Amino acid sequence: MMGERELIMQDECGFFVVERINWFDKAKYPYIPDREPSLVGSHNDILRRYRGIEGSAWPDEYTDHSITLDSGLAPLSQQHLVHDYCELLGTSNPEMIVDCIVCMKVPFDFVSLPKQAGLRLLGFDYGYLVCDSNNYSVIFNEVIYGRYPQLTAFASSLNEHCLLPTLETVQSLQSVRLGLLVEGSDFETDEACKPFVIYEFIGGT
């Protein structure tokens, strides 16, 4: 049974390229009020550390590189296309903060993470990734840049990649967030939030 579940999980694993945008840059976005992060460091420092699903997905014309997406993710078999695409983004705009991660939705009752050759585990994010134009991270928006102390308290649990270290911690975050929603707190609720395991591609496949 576990073998079948791991196979399903592997099918849902893919590359996700995202531009990290500093919305608090007053020179570019003077109309957006500043927000104090729950982590130590400047906004750009946090953007460079954070490795989750928040940001502007697949900037510029990824279709020009023959990259195909399924639910916002490019299959691991397209690693060379994704690599060339990222190289071009970095060359054309050196100031752009671009990140390439491998992510996968997992259920809370998934005990054993699938073994993936060429991938290094970074941690867990929590939110939704529906397509290349519809993604949201609770960790980024409500823990790191949140307004409710019950959620920003989870910042102390974040690892060096600004992600949560275990599914159990993600489940605790979900429980607190759902409790606040019941009390009438104002959160993003357009899509159902799920845990995501985040990997870094280090070669192979």
| Percent of the chain predicted with pLDDT > 90 | 70
pLDDT tens digits, 137-171: 999 999 999 999 999 999 999 999 999 999 999 99
Q: Which of 60-74, 136-150, 183-197 has the lowest mean pLDDT?
A: 60-74
List 124's β-bridge partners, or say none: 164, 197
Q: CB-hemisphere CA count at 13 Å for 11?
A: 6
d(CA 140, CA 52): 8
Cβ–Cβ contacts within 10 Å for residue 87, how many? 11
Confidence (pLDDT) at 46: 97
Encoding tokens for residue 173? 């975050």
pLDDT-based confidence at 111, cuts 50/70/90?
Answer: low
Confidence (pLDDT) at 205: 44
The number of folded domains in the chain is 1
Q: How many residues does the chain have?
A: 205
SS3 186: coil
pLDDT-based confidence at 134, cuts 50/70/90?
Answer: very high
pLDDT-based confidence at 34, cuts 50/70/90?
Answer: confident
- Whether residue 44 is predicted with pLDDT greater than 50 in this model: the reply is yes
| Percent of the chain predicted with pLDDT > 70 | 89
Amino acid letter, residue 192:
A
CB 79 within 8 A of CB 66: no
Name the pairing type of β-strands 74-75 and 14-20: antiparallel
Name the pairing type of β-strands 134-137 and 97-105: unpaired
List 136's β-bridge partners, or say none: 128
Q: Indicate the pTM of the whole model.
A: 0.90
Encoding tokens for residue 180? 């606040």
Q: Which domain holds residue 131?
A: 2-201
Confidence (pLDDT) at 204: 54
pLDDT (mean) for 39-63: 92
Question: What is 75-117 written as a DSSP string?
Answer: EGGGHHHHHHHHHHHHHH-TT-EEEEEEEEE--TT--SPPP-T
SS3 131: strand
Tokens 């005990």 found at = 111
Exposed e or buried b per residue across 120-149, where buried means at least 16 C-beta atoms within 10 angstroms of its C-beta:
eebbbbbbbbeebeebbbbbbbbbbbbeee
d(CA 178, CA 152): 15
SS3 127: strand
